[in-house]
Structure 1
Amino acid sequence: MSGLCGWIGHDGTAVENRQLIEQMLKPIVRFDSSNAQTLIGARAGLAVAANNNGMHLYQKAGILVGLWGHVKFQDASLNQLIRTEGVAKILADNWQVKGEKILAGLVGEFSLCILNEDSGEVVLAVDRMGTRSLVYQISREGLVFSSSTDSIIQHPLIQPEIDPQSFFNYVYFHMVPGPGTIYKGQQRLLSGEYLVFQKGTVKIGQYWKANFSEMESCSFAELKQDFHDLLRSSVREAAGNQSVGAYLSGGTDSSTIAGVLGEVSNEPARTYSIGFEARGYDEMEYARIAARHFATQHHEYYVTPDDVVAAIPHIAAVFDQPFGNASAIPAFYCARMAKADGLDKLLGGDGGDELFGGNVRYAKQYLFSLYEYFPPMLREKIIEPLFLKMAGGINPLPIRKVRSYIEQARLPMPARMETYNLLGRYGYQKVFTPEFSASINSEQPCILINDTYRQVHASSLINRMLAFDWKFTLTDNDLPKVIKACELAQMEVAFPLISNEMIDFSARLEPRLKLKGTRLRYFFKEALRGFLPDEILAKQKHGFGLPFGIWLQDHKPLQDLAADSLIDLKLRNIISPEFIDKLLSQHLNEHASYHGTMVWVLMMLEHWHKQR
């Protein structure tokens, strides 16, 4: 996928500046060896690395413009000019006239920089879903920026210092959520954000926010037709003129993409699936059902524990900060299959759950929300005193379930969604050393969660949860997981279900069409009934989950790697040695899948350290 990097405010000769920008480029092209172009000024540098028409640069009279990604304008006249003048020049010309208003008319997936050496002004922006990340740091009246933190720390203006708070946030979220990064002083632009830097000061703004039209009503037939048209146009545009295949997990999203790809390309889609020899984890049969239904050219690979051992150091290296989503492993092996077949790009189904209401917790939170309809007097004077004072362990199962329901339902949103958080279940005081705990704010994850939830402009519970997940599930987790896994395999990836047009369509769907009672993604499934196989529509959601904890029980090389990693992590005085010992000796034997997740998160933290 490559990236973008640059700076303003650092003096050097033309030769020195070119050497510096090339040094910053090294981490960006380390894995996929993309083509790169650079622009050099007197006190500035800018570079973009990309393949397949994802690189756009322009320089004239002190103006430097770089764009990484694929974009178009909502203004048809500007789109006409792209063919003759290029998108970078159009951005330069229109920024001088319209300022940040030009950003609102951009659609696609991108990160960009507009730099004016004469005025010292720099503009940075990322797309509406934050698909292409952009990090920045101010230093001595200068600004350094890049799509990668590893690139920024190559610059002499930057003295990298790891932020302990980010380690805590990582263990809580299993990734470092934006706008923070693993380094102090470095910040990541959030989805739909832009930055204006001038004379040492920074202004952050949003050129786009989700706008839910919750009262808009259209006929189902009209919505279904619009949806099918959008699916075809989004897949067609994502595929472009490249050699393209599709991830196929056997779920509704990946199966839909595979089926539509075959339609728009007028040939069998090439599809790629991962399986596991582990009970309860292998979804290959559903992938085969979809492959047969759409007559795809199907390819399969069964990931083994040995594959996991081999991939872990590489997965840790390709991420520029700690990342703990184990599904990056199967995503990588899938992309490697496609690369071996000579493909240029894979299409992923990510985003369907978060646009159309497909996550199981949406239904759970709906059920919890019903508790609010009981009169406060009844809840506070009768129900809660009756059930919450009962000793939990000695009562019959139905009573325990009612008690658990009340305990969770009485919590406000979004705290109610965090009752299953792994770190919360352990207790952070047991997980971290006292010295480390004294250096962080244990409330920061909750502050970030609350701030994100409250900034959502929606009245319905389902839309508030969807917009919340656009940040934490998509931008911070699932999208970088797939993008970086594909980068490691030297494969491009695109996500048709989160095209700008699809986001707008989702925002105007009535809430009841996303979650009808407890029926998940109601409209999505009904609109695709007859197109997708019935078995796919009826299956329970699973995906590419890795059976790491299960394999850890009896695979010696995996056990050794995990144990060695966590023993080394003890020496960093972050995680309590007593907790690590208990995790490996007791917790894993109690529930391998559940506690295996924490082993993975801590192991990947140590391997990230080893790659620095």
Structure 2
Amino acid sequence: MSGLCGYLALVRGGRPDLARMAAPLARHDASPLRSLEEGPCGVALAAQNGSVSLHQEPGLLAAVWGHALLDGSGERLAARLAAAWRERGAQACAELSGHFAVCILDGASGLALLAIDRSGVHAMHYQSGPQGLTFATSAAALAGGELDPQALFNYLYFHMIPAPRSIYRQQQRLLPGEYLLYRRGRMERGVYWRMRFHEERALPFVVMKQQFRGALEEAVRQAAQGAGKIGAFLSGGTDSSTLAGLLDKPASTYSIGFDVDGYDEMAYARIAARHFQTEHHEYYLTAGDVADAIPRIAAASDQPFGNSSVVPAYFCAQMARANGVTRLLGGDGGDELFGGNERYARQAVFARYEQLPSGLRQLMLEPLLFGLARQVNLPPLRKARSYVEQALVPMPARLETYNLLFRYGPAQVLEADFLASVDQGAPQRQLDACYWQSHGLSQINRMQALDLRYTLADNDLRKVGLACELAGVEAAFPFLSDELLAFSGRLPPQDKLHGTRLRYFFKHALREHLPREILRKKKHGFGMPFGQWLLADARLRALAFDSLSDLKARCLVRADFIDQLTQVRLHEHPAYHGTMVWVLMMLEQWLSQHARQPFAAAPPDVAETAADPAPRA
């Protein structure tokens, strides 16, 4: 583990023993503690050697972990942030650029500030107790506590646990662009940055193209700065190929293949490698590799994480590390910022139905399809009914039409006592609140805002960060530079999604840079054929099925559902139902290695409000 951790201790009669209180935080490859004791509190800080900018003065300690700049410079970063804090308080965070976690511990006033970057590349976990505030960029540095039933339910819904919740009832996490102010036991969350969209075109295409290319080249330069040997993931998609082509030659690139029909994209990775003349490295993943990696990944995870793509990302990072790479560039963020996700086009097709006159929809089409023609089982009518049924579901709930948990039915999956302890509607309300926070914008930009938080910050960035940390490589994400975030915000919606054409501006701006085959390919990524391997490989199947058997004893997932999943459904559709096997397996793997005690049920309203206080700007 690497990162930043600290303890802000309240003093109620006598001095706290800061070294003793914060010693557990310093055991994770951290430097000796720095501490100060002034006024009504004491503070202590531990950080990995050479990884953090620290500044200490009478009554104040400031730290910035990660790769950040202030006014374009990284010199004396923490000291200049401390000066900005004295002048502007929490809004000083807005002056930082890059990817970072921040803490300022004000010993004289007993005030603490925690914050993370705009994209959530870095995390910040925190909890408050009778003795004060503890915080860390990794949950491993904090005491665990009770498991949160709502967080477990959210995991089964999202296949990860979105912030601000944590798997532990006592812990919370900051959202991207958010800060926490703490003083004498009271906590207040606020927002120092939020994505701003300007939907009207302000500049000609040629000018925007020039700005985009300049911002992209600078982002790659900044991501490579200060590292040893640089490498890049290369899936053969537009994002990873773009970055590979912008690195200084000869760039080192790394790809994972699968010897399963429909999953292997190595041909596209090779096209990009030849085009940009990279030093290309390949590895074909096997079911045995996956079985070896599962316990290690679960052990390294802060909380249950169900994205199976972490395995190929991990082996890619391992390959890079063995080749001497110290920092690996990922293309994450390109899809979200420039309209690359297939669901953007799919939802645009459904949105066309809403644009039809209401009289035509309600008086003609719907009565015909769901009334007179309901008994007619012709394929065109079935397809039309399916289209209208989905189009009638409001956004963003329509995005969850194929949510695995609700396709099965929560009551069919989960034990009744557990289900009674959670709020089943909480995940959808989270999505609704995020989606409609951008009310009045185009659908593509509202979906982008949603994806920046749920697809990116809590999923893809955690996946790549976990894979790279486990392999001993640092991850960097050039597409998530502040300049490219701002550029995306002012890119007109039709330049992200032109009708149903994805990445319209991006592909036109880079058509001289990328090979034609890459520009025309459909997105695939590092998907893994886990379901197919389950049926073919006895060792992987034994690991998965043994994990699910152990999960039965936790009174969380119904035993009859697990039996039906493994004995019937998996054989009917390995790719689809294999996803749920993976999600449940990784839950049990994590619980068996991390959970010190079983979860304690709480009333749904208590569980929800305790973990998701409304932020204040």
TM-score band w.r.t. shorter chain = over 0.9
Name the aligned partner's letter for residue 218 of structure 1: L
Instruction: Select the residue among 66, 70, 94 that pairs with 1:69.
Output: 66
Hey, what does 1:123 align to over in structure 2?
113
The answer to whether structure 1 residue 322 and structure 2 residue 317 are counterparts is no
Q: Where does the alignment leave 5 or more consecutive residues of structure 1 unmatched?
A: 155-159
Q: Residue deviations 1:392-439, cap 9 Å, x none?
A: 786121111110110011111111111111111100000001111111
Alpha-carbon contact 1:48-1:67 (below 8 Å) kept: no
Moved more, 53-62 or 250-259: 53-62
Hey, what does 1:18 align to over in structure 2?
19
Q: Residue deviations 1:66-87, cap 9 Å, x none?
A: 22111112x35xx3xx53xx11
Q: How far, CA to CA, are the matches of 2:300 and 2:363 in structure 1?
A: 55
Alpha-carbon contact 1:46-1:66 (below 8 Å) kept: no
Hey, what does 1:56 align to over in structure 2?
53
Instruction: Indicate the percent of aligned positions where both proteins have the same amino acid.
Output: 51
1:25-44 correspondence to structure 2 within 5 Å:
25-26=26-27, 29=28, 33=29, 36-42=31-37, 43-44=41-42
Name the aligned partner's letter for residue 546 of structure 2: D
Alpha-carbon contact 2:7-2:21 (below 8 Å) kept: no
Hey, what does 2:478 align to over in structure 1?
496
Hey, what does 2:511 align to over in structure 1?
529
Alpha-carbon contact 1:48-1:56 (below 8 Å) kept: no
Alpha-carbon contact 2:19-2:44 (below 8 Å) kept: no
Question: 1:375 offset after TM fit, Å?
Answer: 1.5
Alpha-carbon contact 2:127-2:133 (below 8 Å) kept: yes
Question: 1:16 offset after TM fit, Å?
Answer: 4.9
Q: 1:142 to 1:95 in 2, by over 3 A?
A: same
Name the aligned partner's letter for residue 7 of structure 1: Y
Instruction: Select the residue among 112, 132, 148 that pairs with 2:102.
Output: 112
Q: How far, CA to CA, are the matches of 1:575 and 1:25 in structure 2?
A: 37
Aligned residue for 2:536, secondary structure, equals coil
Alpha-carbon contact 1:172-1:422 (below 8 Å) kept: yes
1:226-237 correspondence to structure 2 within 5 Å:
226-237=211-222
Aligned residue for 1:100, secondary structure, equals helix
Instruction: Select the residue among 170, 195, 214 that pairs with 2:180.
Output: 195
Name the aligned partner's letter for residue 250 of structure 1: G
Question: 1:457 offset after TM fit, Å?
Answer: 5.6
Question: 1:46 offset after TM fit, Å?
Answer: 3.8
Q: 1:62 to 1:238 in 2, by over 3 A?
A: same
Hey, what does 1:365 align to over in structure 2?
347
Hey, what does 1:186 align to over in structure 2?
171
Q: Residue deviations 1:568-594, cap 9 Å, x none?
A: 000000000010000000110110000
Moved more, 469-478 or 238-247: 238-247
Q: Residue deviations 1:12-69, cap 9 Å, x none?
A: 999953244331244xx4xxx5x53531233544435346x53111222121112211
Aligned residue for 1:482, secondary structure, equals helix
Q: How far, CA to CA, are the matches of 1:390 and 1:138 in structure 2?
A: 61
The answer to whether structure 1 residue 387 and structure 2 residue 369 are counterparts is yes
Instruction: Select the residue among 442, 445, 461 that pairs with 2:424.
Output: 442
Q: How far, CA to CA, are the matches of 1:233 and 1:247 in structure 2?
A: 19
Question: 1:224 offset after TM fit, Å?
Answer: 1.3
Alpha-carbon contact 1:212-1:457 (below 8 Å) kept: no
Alpha-carbon contact 1:363-1:518 (below 8 Å) kept: yes
The answer to whether structure 1 residue 258 and structure 2 residue 244 are counterparts is yes
Name the aligned partner's letter for residue 66 of structure 2: G
Hey, what does 2:7 align to over in structure 1?
7
Hey, what does 2:85 align to over in structure 1?
95
Q: How far, CA to CA, are the matches of 2:34 and 2:379 in structure 1?
A: 68
Q: How far, CA to CA, are the matches of 1:161 and 1:310 in structure 2?
A: 29
Q: 1:506 to 1:313 in 2, by over 3 A?
A: same
Q: Residue deviations 1:488-537, cap 9 Å, x none?
A: 00100100011000101111111100000000011111111121111111
The answer to whether structure 1 residue 479 and structure 2 residue 465 are counterparts is no
Q: Residue deviations 1:305-345, cap 9 Å, x none?
A: 00000000011111110000000000000000111111110
Hey, what does 2:613 align to over in structure 1?
none
Q: How far, CA to CA, are the matches of 1:337 and 1:150 in structure 2?
A: 26
Alpha-carbon contact 1:124-1:195 (below 8 Å) kept: yes
Instruction: Select the residue among 128, 134, 140 that pairs with 1:150.
Output: 140
TM-score normalised according to structure 1 size: 0.93
Q: Residue deviations 1:182-234, cap 9 Å, x none?
A: 01132111110111111221121111111111113321111111111111110
Q: How far, CA to CA, are the matches of 2:21 and 2:374 in structure 1?
A: 63
Q: How far, CA to CA, are the matches of 2:434 and 2:226 in structure 1?
A: 38
Q: How far, CA to CA, are the matches of 1:48 and 1:536 in structure 2?
A: 45
Alpha-carbon contact 2:9-2:16 (below 8 Å) kept: no
Q: 1:124 to 1:382 in 2, by over 3 A?
A: same
Hey, what does 1:140 align to over in structure 2?
130
Q: How far, CA to CA, are the matches of 2:480 and 2:240 in structure 1?
A: 13
Hey, what does 1:283 align to over in structure 2?
265
Alpha-carbon contact 1:48-1:66 (below 8 Å) kept: no
Q: How far, CA to CA, are the matches of 1:217 and 1:401 in structure 2?
A: 41
Q: How far, CA to CA, are the matches of 1:428 and 1:394 in structure 2?
A: 32
Aligned residue for 2:486, secondary structure, equals helix
Name the aligned partner's letter for residue 446 of structure 1: Q
Question: 1:296 offset after TM fit, Å?
Answer: 0.2
Aligned residue for 2:180, secondary structure, equals strand
Q: How far, CA to CA, are the matches of 2:95 and 2:484 in structure 1?
A: 16
Alpha-carbon contact 2:180-2:190 (below 8 Å) kept: yes
Computed over aligned residues only, the root mean square deviation of the Cα atoms, in angstroms, reads 1.8
Name the aligned partner's letter for residue 19 of structure 2: R
Q: 1:167 to 1:110 in 2, by over 3 A?
A: same
- Name the count of aligned residue pairs: 589
Alpha-carbon contact 2:257-2:285 (below 8 Å) kept: yes
Alpha-carbon contact 1:570-1:577 (below 8 Å) kept: yes
Aligned residue for 2:328, secondary structure, equals strand
1:344-355 correspondence to structure 2 within 5 Å:
344-355=326-337
Q: How far, CA to CA, are the matches of 2:15 and 2:313 in structure 1?
A: 41
Name the aligned partner's letter for residue 211 of structure 2: D
Aligned residue for 1:36, secondary structure, equals coil
Aligned residue for 2:33, secondary structure, equals strand
Q: Where does the alignment leave 5 or more consecutive residues of structure 2 unmatched?
A: 595-617
Q: How far, CA to CA, are the matches of 1:306 and 1:291 in structure 2?
A: 28
Q: 1:4 to 1:232 in 2, by over 3 A?
A: same
The answer to whether structure 1 residue 549 and structure 2 residue 531 are counterparts is yes
Q: How far, CA to CA, are the matches of 2:528 and 2:374 in structure 1?
A: 33
Hey, what does 1:209 align to over in structure 2?
194
Q: How far, CA to CA, are the matches of 1:530 and 1:216 in structure 2?
A: 23
Hey, what does 2:45 align to over in structure 1?
47
Q: 1:571 to 1:292 in 2, by over 3 A?
A: same
Name the aligned partner's letter for residue 24 of structure 2: Q
Question: 1:468 offset after TM fit, Å?
Answer: 0.6
Aligned residue for 1:530, secondary structure, equals coil
Q: How far, CA to CA, are the matches of 2:453 and 2:396 in structure 1?
A: 14
Aligned residue for 2:569, secondary structure, equals helix
Aligned residue for 1:144, secondary structure, equals strand
Aligned residue for 1:165, secondary structure, equals helix
Alpha-carbon contact 1:18-1:45 (below 8 Å) kept: no
Hey, what does 1:157 align to over in structure 2?
none
